[in-house]
Every structure is written in structure tokens, then in C-alpha cells.
């Protein structure tokens, strides 16, 4: 119910910020950077990085899609819903990129790949732009909505597990799991410069993994999500009954003519693609 309210509001704020971005001097450069093809950058590493990013942006490998998918009715087509989610996610991601790069280009700030740029560099840039007060308010309300909807979706994963497997009430599961998530969230926030000890934590030993936030970002993006996705693909393709998966995919859709193709993808292509991400991480590649 919360998502049904917040997601349309998030989209409206995003659309408003996109209109604002179109009035900045860096808008044209942002469009060229994002949409002008440069096939020299289409390397094996870039493809793997895009695959790795898809896990994070589509909430794959963490159980969110499984949990939400278990709530949809039999009249809903799973393949059609998957395509719609992927399309909308891509559209919203592109809108966000245009806004971010327009702001970055207008300010003359150097583009970096730091996971903390949203909380450290962007705020100092926004205050220098026209209409800074209103822009800051809308921008961080947008971030708050995005974070809240993501938190609710991930909270539902662990809460539903506690309810179904441990026999907890929803109130107990939500309160307990929400408290744990809040503690980790506070530790992450304080590690962005608010606490010297937390900012100095670096269990991985890389420059980009400094602080609790950097460490958790590295572990989630590089290990937890890919390994989770790999195991889900193996379980779905090889351990679940094809008759069961076909029945689920055909609900609300009718006869699925391409089930054989889907089964081939989930059994062979998906594990190999995700396995390539895991191997690249082992060899030193880093995603964030």
C-alpha cells in the first residue's frame, strides 16, 4: 500500500527534476554522454559491469522479486510483469542519469564512480545552482522516497521469512527486522564522515571499501547479489519441476510458446552469465 502511494510521487518528483535539468547548461552534454553510441567502450568488462548493475537496480539475487511475486494473483502474467518492471526501471534510471549528469556538467564537477557521491559531493554542488533551496528539497525528498520504498521491499523479504518459517506475528517480525535494518543504516550513515572509527573501518583493504558503507556496498554488490542470483538460477532451472515453473509462467498469460527457450536461458545462459560476474570479482573486478 505504501509503494502504491510513494512510487507515483517519486516519479512525479523525478519528472519535475528532469524538467529543471533540461533548463541547465549541462543538459545537452548529459544527453550526448548518455545516448551517443561509443562502441569502443563496449568491452567484455563493460558488459559484465552492466550485468552486475542489473542485480542492484532490479533487486535480483536478494529475494525481493520472489517475495513480491508470491503476492500477485493468478490473473497476472509473470513474463509480462517482468518486462514491464524492466522497462520502467530502465526509463526511470535514464531519467535519473540525465538529472545527475546535467547537474554535474553544469557545476563543472568531475564525474567519479564513488558510491558516496550522492551524499558527499552532490550536496555541495546543488547549493550553487539557481533555485538551490527548492532544488535541494525536491532532490532529497526524491532520494528519501526511493530509499524508503527500497527499505520496505527488503524488509518484507526477511519479515515474510520470519512469519512463514519462524511463526512470528507480522508485528514482531516487522519491528525486529526493522530495528536490525535501522541499526545497520545508522552505522552506514555515520561511516560517511560522521564517526571517525566507523569511517576508518576497511575489512576489504581497498580504497573504495573504506568505512562501513564502502565495505557493505562492496560485499553486497560483488558477492551477495551475484551469488544469490546464481543459486536462484540453479534452483529454478534444475531443482524446481519444469511442470511447476511452466504453470506459474502461464498464469494470466495463456500457453507459453517459448517455455523451452526460457528453460534453456535459466538453466545455462543465466548461470554462465552470473558465473562470469563472480569469476571477474575473484580476478579483481569491482562493482559498486
The string of pLDDT tens digits covering residues 22-78 is 988 999 999 999 999 888 888 877 887 788 788 888 888 888 888 888 888 888 888
Predicted local confidence at residue 191, as pLDDT:
92
Once rounded to an integer, what is the mean pLDDT over residues 129-143?
A: 78
C-alpha distances (whole Å) from 252 to each of 69, 75, 226 are 13, 4, 30
3-state helix, strand, coil in the chain (%, to 5): 75, 0, 25
Domain residue ranges of the chain, discontinuous segments joined by +: 1-36+53-166, 191-288
26-35, 155-164, 172-181, 275-284: range with lowest mean pLDDT: 275-284
Report helix angle 2-21 to 132-165, nearest 10: 150
Q: How many residues are listed for the chain in this entry?
A: 288
Q: How many CB atoms lie within 10 A of CB 287?
A: 23
Distance of CA 278 to the CA centre of its chain: 18
Helix (H, G, I), strand (E, B) or coil at 90: helix
Pair 136, 127: CB distance under 8 Å: yes
Predicted local confidence at residue 212, as pLDDT:
92
Predicted local confidence at residue 16, as pLDDT:
85
Question: Given pLDDT bands bounded at 50, 70 and 90, which one contains residue 165?
Answer: very high
Predicted local confidence at residue 239, as pLDDT:
96
Average pLDDT along the chain: 85
Global pTM value: 0.80
Once rounded to an integer, what is the mean pLDDT over residues 220-237?
A: 92
Q: Kindly state the greatest CA–CA separation across the chain.
A: 59
Amino acid at each position: 500500500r505504501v509503494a502504491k502511494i510513494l512510487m507515483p510521487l517519486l516519479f512525479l518528483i523525478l519528472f519535475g527534476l528532469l524538467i529543471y535539468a533540461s533548463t541547465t547548461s549541462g543538459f545537452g552534454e548529459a544527453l550526448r554522454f548518455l545516448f551517443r553510441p561509443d562502441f569502443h567502450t563496449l568491452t567484455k568488462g563493460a558488459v559484465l559491469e552492466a550485468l552486475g548493475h542489473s542485480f542492484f537496480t532490479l533487486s535480483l539475487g536478494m529475494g525481493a522479486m520472489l517475495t513480491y511475486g508470491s503476492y500477485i494473483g493468478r490473473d497476472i502474467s509473470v513474463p509480462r510483469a517482468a518486462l514491464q518492471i524492466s522497462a520502467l526501471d530502465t526509463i526511470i534510471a535514464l531519467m535519473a542519469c540525465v538529472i545527475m549528469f546535467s547537474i554535474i556538467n553544469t557545476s563543472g564537477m568531475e564525474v567519479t564512480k564513488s558510491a558516496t557521491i550522492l551524499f558527499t559531493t552532490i550536496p555541495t554542488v546543488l547549493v550553487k545552482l539557481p533555485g538551490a533551496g527548492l532544488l535541494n528539497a525536491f532532490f532529497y525528498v526524491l532520494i528519501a522516497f526511493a530509499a524508503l520504498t527500497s527499505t520496505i521491499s527488503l524488509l518484507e523479504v526477511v519479515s515474510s521469512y520470519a512469519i512463514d518459517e519462524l511463526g512470528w506475528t507480522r508485528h514482531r517480525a516487522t519491528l525486529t527486522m526493522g530495528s536490525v535494518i535501522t541499526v545497520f543504516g545508522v552505522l552506514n550513515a555515520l561511516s560517511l564522515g560522521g564517526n571517525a572509527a566507523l569511517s576508518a573501518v576497511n575489512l576489504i583493504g581497498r580504497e573504495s571499501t573504506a568505512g562501513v558503507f564502502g565495505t557493505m556496498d562492496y560485499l553486497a554488490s560483488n558477492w551477495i547479489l551475484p551469488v544469490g542470483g546464481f543459486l536462484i538460477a540453479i534452483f529454478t532451472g534444475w531443482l524446481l519441476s519444469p511442470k511447476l515453473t511452466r504453470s506459474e509462467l502461464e498464469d494470466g498469460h495463456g500457453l507459453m510458446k517459448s517455455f523451452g527457450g526460457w528453460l534453456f536461458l535459466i538453466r545455462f545462459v543465466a548461470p554462465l552469465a552470473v558465473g562470469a560476474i563472480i569469476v571477474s570479482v575473484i580476478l579483481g573486478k569491482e562493482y559498486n
